[in-house]
């Protein structure tokens, strides 16, 4: 299968260099290939940067911070708004670049760009509203007030599954707060990050405020450098719990502020009194978005036993209508997986569930005739709690349907995991919606909808899904420190 080429209005958005201190830096002793996952064809070659280059980016961000932190919130808001406008002006080009390196369908990519841009819009509006508080201390002759100040240089380590939105969700808040950033995109999807760097420059951000470093084989060393550098005051990471724990250990050497959005294992609970057709549509939207390669997609579907067979049949009928193909083809509804390892995990979880008694509703499986990383979605029902998929995140197009009898039972099942990122509850009963939402051990509960991501709401998890919140009015807190100023010796009366 040949690799379709993006048809761009602005070809200059595809870059082959890192972006440090306002300069495009290509010099490196090593390089790595970026491939189209649908075909495995090489689409770009980029520098695999050394620790020295990363330190150059940190130094640039550190120097820039000393002046950038003193810019007015209103000025930062203007730059953020410019960034938002530029992303929308170039939405089709950015979407094609994203699809080319990530593999998802173009409609999904364009949707991601719109969602990614919304963070710049939101934080353009939040930047001037970082308020402190006035406090009356116990001493009548004292007065105190707090101010929120930018924490400093921030290292942002981002994943491949949302190569634009995971950057903007972090960078928009950091830049709004007055921080400067060093961004490390995943080596599988760096082109989207570099396109954003080009737009950051056009938006007016000062040199050194927005930096992108590149690494593949050198990724572990880059992570250590960002975590251990005393000039970096904050690290934000989206990725696996295993890597998050490693970064946390490394960052402890300098007592950095951290925010981690790590692995999930989202339960999707459907009660028998739910609108079943609606629940099926929303389950499909959640489970198969990006072919299930999202941290908040439904990983375990719990359907009350009285309606489980009907639910499975309805879902299978709609999934059969999917059109898999190269993401740049106009008729494609679902693209490909990111790599071969992702397919292996789906196959492992499917085989395990079937061996333990699950019923095959839709066989699914690899589609080698389309390309190396295509996988037809699979659905299995009556999955036992002993199956691997009940404890492990599949991150792919396997839809495992479990059954339950009572509310107490399903809440116990849903909470029986070390992670707690997102969850879904479907019911027409407001009492069920409310009580189950409170009982679930997660950071986010989505009721009667399968898609909830929005710049206005706080995004993050509990347990081993990490800590910190991105988006919303809370998103700025992770990039600021609270300082209290106390004034003493004031007269009690005039």
**Helix 191-203 vs helix 165-177: angle between axes, to the nearest 10 degrees?**
30
Could you tell me if 348 and 342 are in contact, meaning their C-beta atoms sit under 8 angstroms apart?
Answer: no
CA–CA distance from 52 to each of 28, 44, 218, 226, 236 (Å)? 10, 23, 11, 12, 21
Residue 133: Cβ within 10 Å count: 11
Active-site residue, 112 included: no
β-strand partners of 486? 144
- Nearest-angstrom CA–CA distance, 165 and 163: 6
User: What DSSP character marks residue 303?
Assistant: E
Nearest in space to 395 (alpha carbons), one of 160, 72, 223: 160
Identify the burial level of 129 via C-beta atoms within 10 angstroms of its C-beta, where 0-12 means exposed, 13-18 middle and 19 or more buried.
exposed
Q: Annotate 201-223 with b (16+ C-beta within 10 A) or e (fewer).
A: bebebeebbbbbbbbbebbeebb
Among candidate residues 121, 261, 393, 464, the one labeled active-site is 261
Residue 334, beta-bridge partner list = 324
472: phi then psi, degrees, rounded to nearest 5: 65, -175
- Token digits for 27? 């010099």
Q: What is the 3-state secondary structure (H, E, C) of 352-406?
A: HHHHCCCEEEECCEECCCCCCCCEECEEEECCCCCCHHHCCCCCCCEEEEEEECC
Catalytic residues: 261
């Amino acid at each position: 299968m040949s690799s379709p080429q993006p048809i761009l209005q602005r070809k200059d958005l595809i870059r082959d260099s890192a972006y440090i201190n306002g300069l495009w830096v290509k010099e490196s002793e090593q390089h790595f290939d970026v491939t189209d996952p649908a075909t495995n064809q090489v689409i770009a070659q980029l520098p695999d940067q050394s620790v020295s280059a990363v330190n150059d980016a940190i130094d640039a961000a550190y120097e820039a911070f000393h002046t950038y932190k003193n810019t007015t919130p209103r000025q930062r808001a203007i730059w953020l708004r410019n960034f938002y406008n530029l992303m929308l002006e170039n939405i089709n080009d950015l979407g094609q670049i994203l699809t080319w390196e990530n593999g998802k369908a173009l409609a999904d990519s364009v949707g991601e760009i719109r969602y990614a841009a919304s963070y710049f819009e939101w934080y353009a509006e939040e930047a001037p509203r970082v308020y402190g508080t006035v406090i009356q201390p116990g001493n009548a002759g004292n007065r105190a007030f707090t101010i929120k100040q930018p924490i400093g240089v921030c290292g942002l380590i981002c994943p491949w599954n949302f190569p634009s939105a995971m950057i903007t969700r972090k960078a928009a808040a950091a830049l709004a707060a007055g921080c400067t950033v060093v961004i490390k995109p995943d080596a599988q999807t760096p082109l989207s990050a570099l396109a954003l760097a080009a737009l950051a420059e056009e938006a007016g951000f000062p040199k050194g405020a927005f930096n992108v470093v590149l690494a593949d084989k050198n990724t572990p060393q880059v992570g250590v450098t960002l975590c251990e550098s005393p000039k970096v005051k904050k690290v934000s990471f989206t990725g696996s719990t295993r890597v998050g724990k490693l970064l946390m250990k490394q960052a402890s050497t300098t007592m950095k502020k951290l925010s981690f959005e790590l692995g999930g294992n989202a339960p999707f609970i459907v009660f028998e009194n739910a609108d079943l057709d609606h629940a099926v549509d929303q389950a499909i939207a959640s489970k198969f978005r990006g072919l299930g390669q999202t941290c908040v997609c439904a990983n375990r579907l719990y359907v009350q036993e009285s309606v489980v067979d009907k639910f499975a049949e309805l879902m299978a009928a709609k999934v059969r209508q999917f059109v898999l193909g190269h993401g740049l083809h106009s008729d494609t509804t679902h693209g490909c997986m990111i790599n071969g390892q992702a397919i292996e995990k789906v196959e492992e979880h499917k085989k395990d569930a079937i061996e333990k008694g699950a019923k095959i509703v839709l066989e699914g499986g690899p589609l080698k005739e389309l390309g190396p990383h295509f996988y037809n979605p699979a659905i299995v029902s009556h999955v036992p709690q002993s199956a691997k998929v009940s404890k492990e995140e599949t991150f792919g197009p396997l839809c495992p349907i479990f059954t339950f009898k009572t509310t107490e039972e399903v809440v116990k099942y849903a909470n029986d995991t070390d992670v707690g990122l997102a969850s879904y509850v479907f019911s027409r009963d407001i009492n069920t919606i409310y009580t189950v939402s409170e009982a679930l051990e997660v950071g986010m509960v989505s009721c009667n909808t399968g898609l909830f991501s929005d710049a206005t709401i706080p995004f993050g998890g509990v347990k081993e899904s990490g800590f910190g919140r991105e988006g919303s009015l809370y998103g700025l807190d992770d990039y600021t420190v609270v300082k209290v100023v106390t004034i003493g010796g004031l007269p009690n009366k005039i």
